[in-house]
Amino acid sequence: MVLLKNITGAVILLCVLLLGLLYSSAWNSSRVINPVKQSQILPKRRQPPVSPVPGDAPGRTDVQTMTSWSVPVVWEGTFDPVLLDSHYQPKNLTIAATVFAMGKYIRFLKKFLETMEQHFFTGFNVHVFVYTDRPNEVPQVKMASGRQRTVKTVPTLNRWQEITSSRMFLVQALIEEELRDYADFIFCMDVDSEFHGHWGTESLGDLVGVLHPDFYKSHRSTFTYERRPISKAYMAPEEGDFYYAMGVFGGNLQEVQQLCQTCAINFLNDSTKGIEAAWQEESHLNRLLYSSAWNSSGVIDPVKQSQILPKRRQPPVSPMPGDAPGRTDVQTMTSWSVPVVWEGTFDPVLLDSLYQPKNLTIAATVFAMGKYIKFLKKFLETMEQHFFTGFNVHVFVYTDRPNEVPQVKMASGRQRTVKTVPTLNRWQEITSSRMFWVQALIEEELLDYADFIFCMDVDSEFHGHWGTESLGDLVGVLHPDFYKSHRSTFTYERRPISKAYMAPEDGDYYYAMGVFGGNPKEVQRLCQTCAINFWDDRIKGIEAAWQEESHLNRYLWINKPSKVLSPEYQWQDFRPDSPEVHIIRFSGIVKYYAEIRPNWV
């Protein structure tokens, strides 16, 4: 009640606007289905399971668990199947699978289908398409509810090379004709195989390849790529990331269709020249999965890397399994299989070459209210030196002192817009009003303009490279106070009455409010939700322990980020060096609250 009396006119205005937003706020389940893009909000009644904290996170140090372009290499022990399933189950996915049982290979089909029933996406909708020239010999295998099988009869082919390669053609036709609007993911598999263990949602992605067991420990010079330049599957000696096996590949329908089409066409193209790649379609698959990292289409997240590179572009060489970048002293992947970005886990040259052709625009917001205006100059100057240099950057400065905004020279392609906002008298309201202003900015100006946005504290300076490795659909940063601590120490809001409430067993990490970001749509949703929840608390007369940081933490627990940044991206100057932190990219300066905050006691 006392608090209510203090609400100013500006605050009431915000409230009204926010209530309006409440109704448009998106609690709907969109069709975004990749956990790396996962940004949905779980239905409120569902309680997400507990996921590991930094200390007890799953992980592997004996194998490469991340590629140099920051996508997971899925090994047992790197993911939490319960957590992943809880994300995917509500989406009611349909997984398609294709298997070819031509000629005498029909005899492998029974065991394939039987073991598939036991291990492959149990509990999900699965639709298996069996291609055969012997439809009468297809065995009857009992399928669980939600699972079905369709037999497709195809003509007999007489060369095994053609049988194997015709799969690419038939799969792309199947997707085109039947699956595009029906299935969410598809896997294409060899029939001469059996399932022996769990195969579930951890394997989902927009474009998925599998490391060939012969080569996962070998240098690329040993890979059996096609080496004749005349072939469309040609790989030069310095090319290639991994050697992928043809026995399994998959992804979303669009990506797999494109992959199959291209492989089929390239195979035909070779045929007309009278050649056949060394390992037929496997050679073509390898070429495609290599060059697909290099596309310049509208797909902008390298974890969704799936298009085909314009052929003239030569991708730079990326590290090999043996010489891949990596860190074993820190957690580099979350239990929901997204990267935790630490220096040494990514290849900035490779990543930049992925992103440069996309001509991205990166928006950034910074608030310099009241006396905090004095931090703005250093912030902007150092940002010029380190933040997405060479990219289009648009910084939005929010201030109640527009006349005091310093003139900082910006490189070409970079610009700044000053937004004047009313003065607020409580620092808690200043910091929290950011969520409101950012969502409004996105709504009004950024949705069709910026590709990504970062929101940052002004009382900070840039000290090191901050580039495309930080991009993702929803990005949080590990708070430097807590990245080594158990969740029981996290300063989450603990009062159940608050919308930021976290129970003792809740939470993945403690995220810092000084930096968050993602694509505009996701960040808008985050800001809307946090703003509304903040005011919801306010109406009840409470304020979360760490204001909007508490709400951010709750949001990022329910909506797992698709990328987590290490504390390199939000250090604090007063901190002593830490052995894990090899580079400080952005750091909060030492400040004296009593001097700068309007209401500090």
Binding site for Mn ion (CB under 5 A): 457, 459, 588
Token pair belonging to 429 = 């309201």
Of 567 and 588, the one with the shorter C-beta distance to Mn ion is 588
In the bound state with ligand UDP, the residue whose beta carbon lies nearer, of 346 and 367, is 367
Contact at 8 Å (CB) between 520 and 438?
no
Give the residues lining the site for ligand UDP (CB under 6 A): 367-370, 372, 427, 430-431, 457-459, 514, 588, 597-598
Nearer to ligand UDP, 263 or 369 (CB): 369
Helix 427-441, helix 547-558: angle, nearest 10 = 40
Measured from the CB atom, the residue of 324 and 458 that comes closer to ligand UDP is 458
Q: How far is the CB of 507 from ligand UDP (least distance, A)?
A: 19
* Interatomic CA distance for residues 260 and 251, integer angstroms: 11
Alpha helices, DSSP H, located in 59-159: 81-88, 109-119
- Token pair of 5 as six digits: 């009396």
> CB of 577: closest distance to Mn ion in angstroms?
20
CB of 492 to ligand UDP, least distance (A): 15
Contact 384, 410 (CB under 8 A): yes
Cβ proximity to Mn ion, 268 vs 421, nearer residue? 421
Please report the DSSP string for 353-400 in residue order.
Answer: HHHGGG--EEEEEEEE-GGGGGGHHHHHHHHHHHBSTTSEEEEEEEES
DSSP string, 181-207: TT-SEEEEE-SS----S-B-GGG--SE
DSSP 335: T
Q: Which does 369 bind (CB under 5 to 8 A by kind): Mn ion, ligand UDP, none?
A: ligand UDP
Contacted entry of Mn ion, ligand UDP, none for residue 338, CB cut-off 5 to 8 Å set by kind: none
DSSP letter for each residue of 435-459: HHHHHHHIIIIITTT-SEEEEE-SS
CB-based contact 249:208 (threshold 8 Å) = yes
Q: Which entry of Mn ion, ligand UDP, none binds 598, CB below 5 to 8 A by partner kind?
A: ligand UDP
Nearer to Mn ion, 279 or 437 (CB): 437
Q: How far is 423 from 526, CA to CA, in rounded Å?
A: 24
Q: Please report how close the Cβ of residue 578 comes to ligand UDP at its closest, in angstroms.
A: 18
Q: CB-wise, 206 or 548, nearer to ligand UDP? A: 548
Neighbour count for residue 30 (Cβ, 10 Å): 12
Minimum distance, C-beta of residue 369 to ligand UDP, in the bound complex (Å) = 3
Measured from the CB of residue 514, what is the shortest distance to ligand UDP in angstroms? 6
469 three-state secondary structure: helix
If you count DSSP H runs as helices and E runs as strands, how many of each does the chain have, helices first? 13, 17
Concerning whether 461 is annotated as a catalytic residue, the answer is no
CB 159 within 8 A of CB 281: no
CA distances from 44 to 93, 139, 533, 559 (A): 20, 44, 14, 12
From the list Mn ion, ligand UDP, none, partner contacted by residue 38 (C-beta under 5 to 8 A by kind): none
Whether 482 contacts 567, CB under 8 Å: no
Return the number of the residue (286 or 570) whose C-beta is nearest ligand UDP. 570
Computed over its alpha carbons, how large is the radius of gyration of the chain? Answer: 26
Minimum Å gap between C-beta 481 and ligand UDP is 11
Q: Would you call 19 helix, strand, or coil by DSSP?
A: helix
Q: Residue 372 binds what, of Mn ion, ligand UDP, none (CB under 5 to 8 Å, by partner type)?
A: ligand UDP
Shortest Cβ 466–ligand UDP spacing (Å): 17
Q: How far is the CB of 435 from ligand UDP (least distance, A)?
A: 11
Strand order, beta sheet including 94-100:
147-153, 125-132, 94-100, 185-189, 244-251, 207-211
DSSP 53: -
User: Could you give the CA distance from residue 375 to residue 368 in angstroms, rounded to a whole number?
Assistant: 8
Question: Catalytic: which of 549, 568, 580, 595?
Answer: 549
Q: How far is residue 440's CA from residue 452's CA, in Å, rounded to a whole number? A: 15
Taking the complex as a whole, how short is the minimal distance between the CB of residue 2 and ligand UDP, in angstroms? 22
Our CB check for ligand UDP shows the closer of 206 and 457 to be: 457
Q: Which does 367 bind (CB under 5 to 8 A by kind): Mn ion, ligand UDP, none?
A: ligand UDP
Query: Quick one: what does residue 370 bind among ligand UDP, Mn ion, none, with the CB cut-off 5 to 8 Å set by partner type?
Result: ligand UDP
- Helical ranges in 121-214 per DSSP H: 160-174
Angle (CA) 220 224 229, round 5°: 95
- Between CA 277 and CA 291 the distance in angstroms is 17
Closer residue to Mn ion in complex, CB, 215/387: 387
**Amino acid letter for position 208:** V
- Active-site positions read 549
